[in-house]
Chains A and B, each alone.
Chain A
Amino acid sequence: MVFMKNILNRLSRRFSLPQLFVLLAFLLVFGAILICPLISLFSKAFLDKYGNYAGLANYQKYFNNPNLSISIWNTIDISLVSTVFSVVLAFLFAYALTRSNLKGKTLFKYIAMIPIFIPTIIHAVGLVYLFGKQGVITRMGWDIGLYGRTGIIISEVIFTFPQAFLMFFVALEYADGRLYDAAEAMGISPVKRFFRITLPDVKYTVINAFFVCFTLAFADFGAPKVLGGNYNVLATDIYKQIAGQFNMNMGAVVGSLLLIPAVISFIVDRIVRSKNSSTLNAKATKLVIKKSFKRDSLFFVFCTVISLCFLVLVAALFMGALTEYYPYKMDFTWKNFEFNNSTGGIGSFYHSLEMSVATAVFGTAFVFIYAYLCEKIRKFGALRKIGKLFSVLPMALPGMVIGISFIFFFNNKHNPLNFIYGTIIILVLSNILHYFSVPFITATGALKKLDAEFESVAESMNIPRWKTLLRVTVPLSLPAILEIFMYYFVNAMVTVSAVVFLYSANFRIASIAISHMEEAGNISQAAAMGLLILLINVIVRILYEIAVKIIQFKRKKKEERTI
């Protein structure tokens, strides 16, 4: 017996079996949640109501019904227009913050990020307070005709602006000062410098931002839900097919259409990434921004206007949430924070917190270990490649698609995992998958910065892997881990699209409750709930910033103390 055990031990260590098993387990789990639901989605699209193979009949039916297929053109229309606005404005905003001597850069940067901290459905609610039938601005005599195309476009611009802004900010932050100095010495005009140096440097980011914004707007559910009116888009169509008419097969058809721009965007991103790798030169000098009062003043005005738009939106939410009955009874009140139980109540907020903390805790642990396995194991190159491929796929999956494919997969009597359907587990799982790609990149980036020989040295000292991971890798990657935690938390707090299909009546979450409040006409309660979400997200963000500062400070102090 002892002899056998010895041989087994020996064998397992010789072929790194523990590592192989952990890697395989992670790949299988992730692969299963990623791929199986998609297979169920597509198989549903090709079946009729009774489960018989229907070929392309569902698609034919869809395209032959003008009431349905018009949504495709509507969706392309609003996505295209909002993307153009968003990309141009975000580029200018990021350019102002990176390439001018504007005052208040940090403040502008955080204001530009406000929309990330609230659900898209709340952007729409804010717009209703400003431009709706009884909106503040409408009552001042300017009716923009919010409901329908206009409202959706404005809302999508607000939604996609921060995403594009952050991409441009990172891209524009790095510049090779030598190029600009040389160009100036050669007498090349600033305008020409912009078109010949700056723009070519960030052209891939521009392309990427365009596709990211387009995909986000294309699949967004929150804004069209509130502002759409009779203007149908694909995301609301899916919801109607599935939640309204229980036509699962047609829902699957629409879902598969929703994947198209996401897949294109994904491919573009892959191509762009491979071309964009060698931009930063180690010898690059920092770009010194010249003094220009005219340029700085122009940008200051621009940034102030954009920031005011966001601040006014938030102010509108405050106004709605803190008054008795806008616009008729403008007395101050807290009563809107006493949420009706019929639409979810305050309990939905606690559920959201629960779900977001669970998503952040399990998501961070899963992503980090997953990235560690892909990055720090020496063997099993082929498996690790598959792992890396899996990790980028969620980027191409809109939340709605994840939502319906999860229903098809998990709400199946024959699925042994059926029991998680309707529980918090499925919500957390869908969030971890939905927002997986960005944290994976963050984790991989942090791990790549660590010396590849840490593991080798530890191995030579016969220190087990898990101990090296806990004592060396994790402490050194703490800032990245916190960033991932925050990213998961904030996104889980605001998400609607995936979870709208997956929540159950006894576990309602805040973003869903908002949509129910809005449906029930309790718009002031919706605004109040939106503010609570904004508040908690801002607090988490501040805690994150403080934690990072503390880590940096501690590291510094540790060194000073012993010198």
Chain B
Amino acid sequence: MSFLEIKNITKRFDKQTALSNVSANIEKGELVCILGPSGCGKTTLLRIIAGLENANSGKIIIDGKDCTSLPASERNFGIVFQSYALFPNMTVLQNILFGLQQKKSLSKADMLDKATEVLRLVDLTEHTNKYPRQLSGGQQQRTALARAIALSPSYLLLDEPLSALDAKVRARLRGEIRAIQRSLGITTIMVTHDQEEALTMSDRIIVMNNAVVEQVGTPRSIYDNPATPFVANFIGSMNFYKSGGEICAIRPEKLIPVERHEAYDIAAAVKALEFKGALTRIYAVLPEMDEIYVDIISDRADALGLHEGALLFLKAPAEYQIKYSAKAAV
């Protein structure tokens, strides 16, 4: 039995369906990302797991207990929002103590100990008496995380926790959040629209689109075997082309450019070259007018003597080809 079971959840807002018969299981201790484009229903699903929103039908089972209509206050989780929602009139320490003071079983000293402990964990011990506005974005984010884990929740919910930060801080915090999550062994569900974030951080990914779950799996399995053209296109890049009555898909880095005299699978006309430093991206058009692109080492591109209008010969290894029925349009 999984730690958290999402069973056939459906949620409608007025006439719009935000979630349509969504199911997924989350195991104890893992970090699962709910990944999808904006408006796919991922945040709604998180809010339903939190108890901040009620589903029209379906069940949420946590640790074997039906929690579908349990209010948020009784579910024992920690949450970090995109805006962090730090109380601006309280210092970092007060923000964390505010929740701890609710626990009647703790003595004052225990509360302070606990707060100090989580602040050490997120490396904020030097900033305990600052107000949120005096902190950098990354520090605010870590304060929100510390506040969320201070009450030793049984699971942690992260709603786009990194999207308000700039690229460098984001990359560093990915690692930090993952490390803290691992060391606490806390079950974590994170919502994101950033595929790189999902790939690098999660044990498993739930890919969503248009209110339904498209695929659930480890980052590797989703990347290698995307179940639908949407997943294929949303995670990483993918070339699509028609071949027989089917749609063929192959990752740009799996296509191997070869010399004219060698055996090849695809011939295409080069449309444009884009020098990107170590790699050169080649845009090409197939005879059926499907457009594809390939990333190859720049030196290799030179060696092949590629230029606009030239012919490009490619090997598409069968083990990397994915076939979709023609009906599943991208």
Contact = CB atoms under 8 A, between A and B. Distances in A.
A378 interface: yes
B98 A471 contact: yes
B88 A476 contact: yes
Contacts of B72: 456, 459-460
A459 B85 CA distance: 12
A472 interface: yes
A186 interface: no
Given A459-B52, A461-B151, A454 B131 contact: no
Contact of B89 (A451, A459, A462, A475): A475
A459 B99 CA distance: 10
Contacts of B99: 458, 461-463
Contacts of A57: none
A413 interface: no
A472 B89 contact: yes
B105 interface: no
A451 B83 CA distance: 8
B131 A456 contact: no
Contacts of A558: 131
A14 B85 contact: no
B158 to A, nearest CB: 12
B196 to A, nearest CB: 25
Secondary structure type dominating chain B contacts = loop
A559 B88 CA distance: 11
Contacts of A563: 130, 134
A456 B51 CA distance: 10
A6 B151 CA distance: 24
A13 B73 contact: yes
B73 A462 contact: yes
Contacts of B83: 451, 453
B283 interface: no
B89 A456 contact: no
Contacts of A458: 98-99
A333 interface: no
B115 to A, nearest CB: 13
Most buried by B among A462, A463, A558, A563: A462
Contacts of B71: 13-14, 16, 459
B77 interface: yes
Interface in A539-563: 558-559, 562-563
Interface in A102-139: none
Nearest to B68: A14
Secondary structure type dominating chain A contacts = helix
Contact of A562 (B69, B73, B91, B148): B91
A312 interface: no
Contacts of A14: 69-71
A16 B54 CA distance: 12
A475 B130 CA distance: 18
Interface in A429-462: 451, 453-454, 456-462
Nearest to B14: A381
Nearest to A378: B52
Interface string A365-393: 00000000000001000000000000000
B264 interface: no
Contacts of A454: 85, 87
B39 to A, nearest CB: 18
Contacts of B151: 461-462
Nearest to B151: A461
Contacts of B69: 14
A456 B81 CA distance: 9
A165 B157 CA distance: 50
Contacts of A457: 79, 81, 85, 147
A513 to B, nearest CB: 44
A457 B156 CA distance: 12
B150 to A, nearest CB: 8
25 contacts: A13-B73, A14-B71, A378-B53, A451-B85, A456-B50, A456-B52, A456-B72, A457-B147, A459-B73, A460-B77, A460-B78, A461-B151, A462-B76, A462-B102, A463-B99, A471-B90, A472-B87, A476-B88, A476-B89, A558-B131, A559-B131, A559-B134, A562-B91, A562-B129, A563-B134
Given A456-B81, A459-B73, A460-B157, 16 more contacts: A13-B73, A378-B53, A453-B85, A456-B50, A456-B52, A457-B147, A459-B52, A460-B148, A462-B74, A462-B102, A463-B102, A559-B133, A559-B134, A562-B134, A563-B130, A563-B134
